[in-house]
Structure 1
Amino acid sequence: MKLYHFPLSGHAHRAVLFLSLLGVKAELIEVDIPNGEHKSPEYLKINPFGQVPVLDDDGVIVNDSTAILVYVAKKLGRKDWLPDDLPSVAKVQKWLAVAAGEIAYGPAAARLITVFGANFRPEEVIARAHRILTLIDAELEKHRFIIGDRPTIADIALYSYIVNAPEGNVDLTPYQEVRSWLARIEALPGFVEFRKTAAGLAA
C-alpha cells in the first residue's frame, strides 16, 4: 500500500493513524501541498479532487479519509474496528457523517483559519465546534469510546481535528470526557501523533 499524505492534514492523519494502529507497513508519500503538488496534473490523475489522503492499494485508488478507514478495515477483516452487526454499523456511519460534517465545519474549519489562513468566520466555526464537542462529551459519559467500550474507525475519524482543536482557538478544557477519550486513543499500541503547530490557543 502507498498512502499520499500531508503531515498537517487531519484527514491524512486519520489514515496514517489507522494504518499504524493495525500494523500495516504502508509506504508514506508526502505531498508538497504548500508548493501546489496536489494541483499538479500528475497528482490530479490520482485524485481529481486535489486532496489528501489517497490510498493506492496495488492500483485500487481510495481518495477519501473515511473511505480509506472503511476500505482498510474491510480488506483486513477487522470487525473489531468496523463491526458488521446492524446497530453498530448505523452508529459508526453516524459518527463518520459527523466527522465529515460538524467536525469539518467546526473544529477543523477553526484550525484552517489559524494554520492555513482560511476565510471562515471565527465566531461561527468556534461556536459550531463547541456545540459538537458538547454532544460528544455527553456521549462519552456513557462508554469509553464513541460507540461503546472498544475503539472503532468512528473514533479515528473524530480524533485528529478534536485533539488539535486548540490550534483553532477551540478550548478543550470544559470537556473532561473528551480529554479522557483522547488520552485513551493515544494509549493504543501503534498510536502516532498528529503534528502540532503553534497556532491559536496552542501558540
Structure 2
Amino acid sequence: MSAIKLYRHPLSGHSHRVEVFLSLLGLDNDIIDVDLLKGAHKQPEFLQRNSLGQVPVIEDGDMTLADSNAILVYLASKYDPYRTWLPEDFTQAAQVQRFLSVAAGKVAFGPAAARLVNVFGASLDHQHAKNIAHALLTELNTHLADSSWLVGTTPTIADVANYAYIAHSPEGDISLAAYPHVRRWLTRFEALTGFVPMQNTAVGLTA
C-alpha cells in the first residue's frame, strides 16, 4: 500500500486532526506543506484537489478527500479493523457525530477563531470568540468530570477532532486553568501511542 498524502499547513488545527490520526493509526503518510500565506491553497493545482481552497486534503491511491472531519470518518472506517475510533454501536456512533458537530461549530467559532486572531491576524471579534470558548470549555469540563473520553471508555475520532484547538486555546488568550477535567483529557490524549503534537506559536498567553 502506498503512503497516504496529506496536504496541510503546520499551524492548522484542522490539518493536525488528520496528521495525528494517521499517526495514531500507524499509517504511512507523506506530508506536503501548503503555504497559505503565499496563497498556494488558491492556485489551480491545489484547487483541483479541493475546489474550496482549504487544507487538509488527503490522497489515498485514486481517492482525493477534503474536510478534516470527513477524512477522520473515512480513515476510521477504512483502516481501523476493531472499530474503536468510530464505534459500530449506533448510540455511540451518534455521540461521536455530535462531537464532530461541536468541533465544526463551537470549537471553530470559539477557541479556533480566537487563535486565528492572534496567529494569523484574522479580522474576527476576538472577545466574542473567547466568550464562546469559555462557555464550551465549561460544558466540556462538566462532561469530562466522570468520563476519560468524550464518548465511551476509549478514545474516538470525537477526541481527535476536538483536541488541537482546545489544546492550543492559550494561543488565543484563553486560559485552561479553570478547567481541570479538560486539562486531564488533553494529557490523556497526548499520552496515546503515536501522538504527534501540533507546532506551538508564541502568541497570546503563550507569548
Specify the alignment match of 2:46 in structure 1.
43
Runs of 4+ in 1 over 6 A off after TM superposition: none
Tell me by how many angstroms 1:78 deviates. Answer: 4.4
Q: 2:57 aligns with which of 54, 57, 64?
A: 54
Give the length in aligned residue pairs: 203
Check whether the contact 2:92–2:152 (CA below 8 A) recurs between aligned residues: no
Q: Aligned partners of 1:149, 1:171: CA distance in 2, in Å?
A: 27
Distance 1:78 1:71, change over 3 A: farther
Gap runs ≥5 in structure 2: none
TM-score (norm 1): 0.98
Specify the alignment match of 2:195 in structure 1.
191
The answer to whether 1:202 aligns with 2:202 is no
Q: Aligned partners of 2:198, 2:82: CA distance in 1, in Å?
A: 23
Specify the alignment match of 2:24 in structure 1.
21
Q: Aligned partners of 2:82, 2:175: CA distance in 1, in Å?
A: 34
C-alpha RMSD over aligned residues: 0.7
Q: Aligned partners of 2:31, 2:176: CA distance in 1, in Å?
A: 30
TM-score (norm 2): 0.97
Tell me by how many angstroms 1:149 deviates. Answer: 1.9
Q: Aligned partners of 1:85, 1:31: CA distance in 2, in Å?
A: 37
User: Structure 1 counterpart of 2:171, which letter?
Assistant: E
Equivalent residue runs for 1:54-203 within 5 Å: 54-76=57-79, 77-203=81-207
CA offsets 1:105-155 (integer angstroms, 9 cap, x no match): 000000000000111111110000000111111110121011122100000
User: Structure 2 counterpart of 1:177, which letter?
Assistant: H
Percent of pairs with identical residues: 50
Gap runs ≥5 in structure 1: none
User: Structure 2 counterpart of 1:190, which letter?
Assistant: G
CA offsets 1:32-80 (integer angstroms, 9 cap, x no match): 1111110101100110011100011112111000111000010113411
